[in-house]
Amino acid sequence: MSRKIPILIPRGKKVILFDGVCNVCDGFVQFVLKRDPKGMFYFASLQSEIGKQLLIKHKVEIADLSTVVLIDGDKVFTHSDVVLIVGKDLGGLFKLLYPFKILPKNFRNFLYDWFAKNRYRFFGKKEVCMLPKPEWRSRFLDVL
């Protein structure tokens, strides 16, 4: 039986839930961390107790861990929306991704789902979730 862990998310911060054993997801998290010096984003793996509790709290059902999840207050985003919103929030050239939001969501998510379905085949996976660098540890809700 899992135990309920208190989840402390600083006000105004966003949480990215990711597949902790996926090399692509790990790369995405590393990418965001390196470009988010203000610490706007916090992280937890979907496999962690905190990740599971956040999914339950926000009524998000994910059967196969094939999407990243972005939690922004009471709003929850999945699939291609996460990539577009994170790009916009990081600013710089990455905000140029956001206009792709005008494409039909079904089309964007079809492409996202195809890639997600093949991510392990293309890029492999880890046996265990990554451990963050010491300077990033405080941004991970599931390793505090």
Give 3-53 pLDDT, tens digit per residue. 666 677 778 899 999 988 888 888 899 999 999 988 999 999 998 899 999
Would you say residue 72 has pLDDT above 80?
A: yes
The residue range of the domain holding 32 is 14-131
Would you say residue 1 has pLDDT above 50?
A: no
Q: CA 42, 111, 99, 23 torsion: positive or negative?
A: positive
Is 24 contained in some domain? yes
Is 5 contained in some domain? no
Which residue in 41, 34, 35 sits closest to 12, CA to CA?
Answer: 41
Is pTM, for the whole model, over 0.85? yes
Is 144 contained in some domain? no
Query: Can you give the length of the chain in residues?
Result: 144
Mean pLDDT over the full length of the chain:
86
Q: Residues 114-123: pLDDT tens digits?
A: 998 898 888 8
Is 25 contained in some domain? yes
